[in-house]
Structure 1
Amino acid sequence: MVQILFVCLGNICRSPMAEAVMRRKVQEAGLAERIKVDSAGTGNWHTGKPPHEGTRGILKRHGVDDSGIRARQVREDDFHEFAYIIAMDDSNVVNLGRFAPKEHRSEVKKLLDFVPKHLGGDVPDPYYTGNFEEVYDMVNEGCERLLAYIREKEGL
């Protein structure tokens, strides 16, 4: 099974949005038995909480189910379990270094590394900007392109 972990700061806005969007894309592609999707934050402030109301609202507007998603913090074990750890911004990548064991198999990238028009960019944090629609559009395209990358790389 291919496992993907989306990571942001608190795991209540961007990474749970990506988790929910990718779950839907995986389901629609008929790959639910082959790909597992999860999310986590580099901070622990929101552990156990559901996604932010803005995230839940935008997902609902787009018909994306977020049931069962609860915030958690990244763990060292994640680097052994997940083949792909996908961060939302540069600071998340830096912070992931605190959790990463010396040797691991995870491919750590930013979500927008897969989107040519945003290559190398950061997904802005709507917790601060309030722009959940813009973030949803970026996450949706990023997940689409990430899934295509994984399907090709993993032969799915």
Structure 2
Amino acid sequence: MPATKVLFVCLGNICRSPMAEYILRKLVAEKGLSEQIEIASAGTSGWHNGEDMHQGTKQILSAHHINSDGFQSSEVRPEDIAIYDHIIAMDDKNLHDLARIFGDSRPDKVYKITDLLPESEYDYVPDPYFSGNFSETYTIIHAGCIAWLNHWQRQHIQKL
């Protein structure tokens, strides 16, 4: 079975989407599923292409014992719609931008991370670049990554 490919998306690919990428990588590795799930992130703007993640993101990941080495910001490409099985945005603006990049059709594989948290008070992930609250962002994204992984495992077990 080919690996499931996940792409997390935010505006600049320096705060929220790399945070999600590295959180899910750690969760997947802890479950021994790294060969079955590939994870990446990108931004809709391309403003920070080639840069490292925001220092606040690095600090919150480090505080949770998540290694963030080797990151380099990149931009969403039109061909990503065919490459990735799940394209997970952080907010409605990201979804709007993805529709522009991919065309007006919004396949089921493009959705917000908070869609995985129906009981949550959040319907988007606040951008810590503007809010400064990297802890709040981490909490929401971590919960979303756990929900995604649990859903993936249930689906995967059913296919066996």
TM-score range, shorter chain: over 0.9
Of 94-103 and 45-54, more deviation after overlay is shown by 94-103
Structure 2 equivalent of residue 4 of structure 1:
6
1:38-57, aligned counterparts within 5 Å? 38-57=40-59
Structure 2 equivalent of residue 131 of structure 1:
133
Structure 2 equivalent of residue 60 of structure 1:
62
Q: Cα offset for 1:115? A: 1.2
1:22-72 deviation per Cα after TM superposition (whole angstroms, max 9, x unaligned): 000010111000000000000011000111000000000110111122110
Secondary structure at the counterpart of residue 11 of structure 1 = coil
Secondary structure at the counterpart of residue 46 of structure 2 = coil
- Would the aligned equivalents of 2:99 and 2:106 in 1 still touch at CA under 8 Å? no
Structure 1 equivalent of residue 92 of structure 2:
90
Structure 1 equivalent of residue 123 of structure 2:
121
Identity of aligned residues (%): 42
Q: Cα offset for 1:102? A: 6.7
C-alpha distance in 2, partners of 1:105/1:118?
24
Residue segments in structure 2 that go unaligned for 5+ positions in a row = none
TM-score (norm 2): 0.91
Secondary structure at the counterpart of residue 36 of structure 1 = strand
C-alpha distance in 1, partners of 2:34/2:119?
29
User: CA-atom RMSD, angstroms?
Assistant: 1.7
- Pick the aligned partner of 1:35 from 34, 37, 42: 37
Structure 2 equivalent of residue 152 of structure 1:
154
Aligned residues: 156
Change (3 A) 1:75 1:141: same
C-alpha distance in 1, partners of 2:10/2:98?
10
Residue segments in structure 1 that go unaligned for 5+ positions in a row = none
Counterpart amino acid of 2:94? N
